[in-house]
Amino acid sequence: MTEPARIRSGYVAIAGSANSGKSALINALSCRNITPSYNYKGTTRVPISCIYSTESDQVCFIDTPPLNYYEDEQLFSSVDIICLTLNSTGLSTELESPLLRSFISRNREHPIIFVPTFIDYFPAELHGAFTNQISMSVNYQEIVPVCAPCGQGITRLREVILKYLPERGKLFPDACTSLHSERFLVSEQIRISLFRVLPSEIAAATAVQIEEFSIRDEKRYVRANLHVARHSNKGVVIGRRGAMLQNIADIASKGASRLIERPLYLDLWVKVRESWPENHDDLIEFGYVF
């Protein structure tokens, strides 16, 4: 029996504090817009995976919630590499954070690649200063500054990640793009659309709950409820004569159709679940805590 070809493959966790650019980074690394990326703290509520595959390598990137909100020690202990994002606009504060230093100390058994983000805020001649500042503050394997939205440093970061991954057989079929179900990925596309058109505070306080996920006339039919945290938010989400809700549905449908590679019809309903972000039972029901 022929032994499977060995390639560079493994699991890479993207970790960091709130608004450090984790979600934008995983979208750039995987070349897929899977995880919601927006300048609002705590946009990522649960770990989200995306698989990047070529003929010679395969990486499962895992976007994680901010370290100052939630840390899954079991997840971090099971990955091959950790990419630790550091917002370069507040680098000194991040490096002095007891939370960050404690995280590094607990995960010394893994290669940690430090990734200063938002380097586009500074001229190129200052980028080396970020590397020097990090190298004098913490132990590290590699430091790769990036600007995820513009793609700067992304190819270099992939090369560095692959250098530290073990050689093994492929972990997933070539067509596999995520460890999550299509149902989950579609719900995340709906969440992405909320942040694109609604005020940030309302988008962050709107939960997505899919009620039906079926096939009708060779199309994926999705019926989903948008649970707002206040009665006053319901009118904003619906908009005048339903215009805002239709805009959300159009954006989410296009993104989800591209992601699952199938035509999709999205039926959205808005419901009120008062103060759900403060209710532990609601968080469990919506899948935001385990």
Gap between the Cα atoms of 205 and 45, Å rounded: 12
- Distance of CA 199 to CAs 22, 101, 244, 250, Å? 21, 34, 12, 18
pLDDT at 3: 57
Per residue in 138-148, pLDDT (tens digit) is 777 889 999 98
Residues of the chain with CATH 3.40.50.300: 7-168
What does the pLDDT average to over 111-132? Answer: 86
Q: What is the pTM of this model?
A: 0.84
Neighbours of 5 (CB within 10 A): 10
* Every domain range in the chain assigned CATH 3.30.300.20: 182-285
Structure tokens, 54: 């070529």
What is the arithmetic mean of pLDDT over 208-227? 93
Residue 47 corresponds to which amino acid? P
CATH class of domain segment(s) 182-285? alpha beta
Minimum mean pLDDT range among 11-15, 34-38, 61-65:
34-38
Q: Assign domain 7-168 to a CATH class.
A: alpha beta
Distance of alpha carbon 51 from alpha carbon 59, whole angstroms: 6
Cβ atoms of 61 and 102 closer than 8 Å: no
pLDDT at 71 over 80: no
Name the residue type at position 61: F
For the chain, give the mean pLDDT. Answer: 88
Q: What is the reported pLDDT for 62?
A: 93
Highest mean pLDDT among 63-77, 128-142, 243-257: 243-257
